């Protein structure tokens, strides 16, 4: 039973429109979103605009050549165009990321919500499953499974990656569902006579949207970085081009020691940028599921801090940066005093 004195109304005359949450996301998230958008665009049109076939070698090539007019990012030691490889490879990596994230998130939500909401023996069984997968040694298993993968293409890789990545998110979602289940509005939904599946879909899930989105983005990141890392050490599907295989070939051709930076820097930077954009985007996802944080005035400012009169304050993002003794305010500092004019 909550005991706090009731909170004052935070009524606004203007009703938040759904689109306004985009405007109110923190700058970091907007930057991340923009970068990711760019990458997605490349993923879609990349192969179409690649000037050369990425696998086409030049028998006359003497070695890796730096950027020229004909090859904007130079060539590999076998005369392949790095730019084309990058454009094609990006698509492959991103598709892999999206696939993995989708499968893993679906698994995590399905098991997490079911376990959390139903409780009892279903919870026990699913939790057991989750915990087993969590403690499985992921890296060795990935190497073994991916190394001996019979088929080619992104889908089997995505399946393996998501099989080893879904359980963390599932545990978190289960925990969130457990908290939500005991809330009054769920009991109220039952009072109204809602069926269980409707309660789960329309009452619980909307409250978990930000968590699910964060899960998706996080798994996306994990897929990209893991696949690049594994490909770098040789565990990959070499029939397609992706960022990791580019790095692998660069490394096996000693590009690092010969200084052929145009070969390994573009894929590395691309992978890093892609990962960074996902991390930045995550900052803005908190507000997805919480109408309270959507900026109701439509002003292009960060959302003001969640204010509760009389109690302490939880500062999410606040534009006013108070200073104390010349540095940013810390929680152990006293309340700042800003007098307009000196005391009489």
Partner 1 sequence: MIPADTARNGPTAVPAGEERPPVLEIRDLSIVYRGDVDVKAVDHVDLVLAPGETVGLAGESGSGKSTLALGACRLLRPPAVITGGSVVYRGSRVAPGGVEILDQGSRELRKLRWREISIVFQSAMNALNPVLRIRDQLGDVLDAHLNLAREEKRERLGTLLDLVGIPRERLRSYPHELSGGMRQRVMIAMALAVDPEVVIMDEPTTALDVVVQREILAQIVELQKRLHFAVLFITHDLSLLLEIADRIAIMYAGRLLEVGSAEQIHNRPAHPYTRGLLESFPSVHGARKKLAGIPGSPPDLRSLPPGCPFVPRCRYATEPCRSVDMRVLPVAGSDERHLSACPFVTAETAERAAAALASSATAAAPQRERS
Partner 2 sequence: MTATLRAADVLPAASARGPLVLEAHALAKDFRLSRGLHGEVLSAARDVSFGLYRSAVVALVGESGSGKSTVARMLAGQERPTSGQILLDGAEVRPWARGTFRSYKGDVQMVFQDPFASLNSVHTVRYTLRRPVRLHQRAKRKDAVAAELQRLLERVRLTPPDQFLAKYPHELSGGQRQRVAIARALAARPRVLLADEPVSMLDVSIRLEVLDLIDELRSQFELAVLYVTHDIASARYFADDTLVMYAGEIVERGPSEDLTQRPAHPYTQLLLAAAPDPDRLGSPIKVEVARDTRRAGSALATTVGCRFAPRCPFADERCGAESPPLLAINSQRAAACWRLDVAAPALVSETGEERSLPMNS
Give residues in contact with partner 1 (CB under 8 A): 1, 3-11, 297, 299, 301, 304-305, 307, 309-313, 315, 318-320, 322, 325, 329, 331-340, 343
Contact 228, 243 (CB under 8 A): yes
Closest approach of partner 1 to the CB of residue 280, in Å: 23
What distance in Å separates the CA atoms of residue 144 and residue 16, rounded to the nearest whole number?
Answer: 51
- For the bound state, the minimum distance from the C-beta of residue 331 to partner 1, rounded and expressed in Å, comes to 6
Residues 6 or more apart in contact with residue 299 via CB below 8 angstroms: none
Q: Which is nearer to partner 1, 58 or 318 (CB)?
A: 318
Contact 174, 114 (CB under 8 A): no
Point out which span in 33-41, 204-212, 244-252, 260-268 binds partner 2 (CB under 8 A).
Answer: 204-212
Minimum CB–partner distance for residue 319 and partner 1 (Å):
8
Q: Is 301 in the site for partner 2 (CB under 8 A)?
A: no
Residues between 140 and 199 with contacts to partner 2, criterion CB under 8 A: 183-185, 187-194
In this structure, what token pair is assigned to residue 184? 């009054």
Residue 299 interacts with, from partner 2, partner 1, none (CB under 5-8 Å by kind): partner 1
Q: How many other CB atoms are found less than 10 A from the CB of residue 227? A: 29
* 117-122 CB contacts, 8 Å cutoff, 24+ apart: 117/177, 117/181, 117/196, 117/199, 117/200, 117/204, 119/181
Q: What is the dihedral of CA 98, 107, 278, 284, to 10 degrees?
A: 130
Q: Using CB under 8 A, pick the residue from 291, 299, 323, 333 that binds partner 2.
A: 291
333 binds, among partner 2, partner 1, none (CB under 5 to 8 A by kind): partner 1
* Nearest residue (CB) to partner 2, 183 versus 323: 183
Using the structure block, give the residue that is written with the tokens 């892609």: 274
Interaction site with partner 2 (CB under 8 A): 1-2, 6-12, 15-16, 183-185, 187-194, 202-203, 206-207, 209, 289-292, 296
């Amino acid at each position: 039973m909550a005991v706090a004195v009731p909170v004052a109304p935070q009524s606004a005359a203007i009703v938040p429109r759904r689109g306004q949450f985009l405007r109110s996301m923190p700058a970091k998230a907007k930057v991340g979103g923009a970068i990711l958008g760019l990458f997605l665009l490349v993923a879609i049109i990349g192969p179409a605009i690649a000037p050369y076939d990425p696998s086409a070698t030049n028998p006359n090539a003497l070695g890796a050549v730096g950027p020229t007019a004909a090859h904007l990012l130079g060539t590999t030691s076998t005369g392949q165009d790095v730019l084309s490889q990058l454009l094609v490879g990006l698509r492959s990596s991103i598709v892999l990321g999206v696939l993995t994230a989708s499968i893993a998130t679906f698994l995590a939500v399905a098991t997490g919500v079911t376990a959390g909401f139903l409780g009892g023996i279903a919870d026990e069984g699913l939790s057991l499953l989750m915990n087993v997968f969590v403690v499985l040694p992921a890296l060795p298993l990935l190497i073994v499974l991916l190394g001996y993968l019979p088929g080619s293409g992104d889908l089997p890789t995505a399946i393996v990656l998501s099989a080893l990545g879904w359980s963390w998110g599932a545990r978190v979602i289960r925990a969130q569902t457990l908290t939500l289940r005991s809330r009054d509005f769920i009991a109220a939904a039952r009072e109204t006579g809602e069926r269980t599946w409707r309660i789960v879909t329309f009452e619980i899930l909307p409250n978990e949207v930000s968590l699910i989105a964060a899960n998706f983005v996080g798994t996306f990141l994990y897929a990209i970085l893991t696949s690049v890392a594994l490909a770098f050490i040789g565990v990959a599907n070499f029939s397609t081009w992706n960022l990791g295989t580019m790095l692998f070939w660069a490394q096996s051709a000693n590009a690092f020691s010969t200084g052929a930076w145009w070969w390994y820097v573009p894929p590395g930077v691309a992978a890093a940028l892609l990962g960074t954009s996902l991390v930045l985007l995550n900052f803005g996802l908190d507000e997805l599921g919480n109408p309270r944080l959507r900026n109701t005035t439509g002003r292009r400012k960060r959302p003001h801090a969640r204010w509760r009169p009389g109690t302490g304050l939880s500062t999410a993002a606040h534009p006013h940066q108070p200073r104390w003794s010349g540095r940013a305010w810390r929680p152990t500092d006293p309340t700042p005093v800003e007098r307009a004019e000196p005391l009489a």
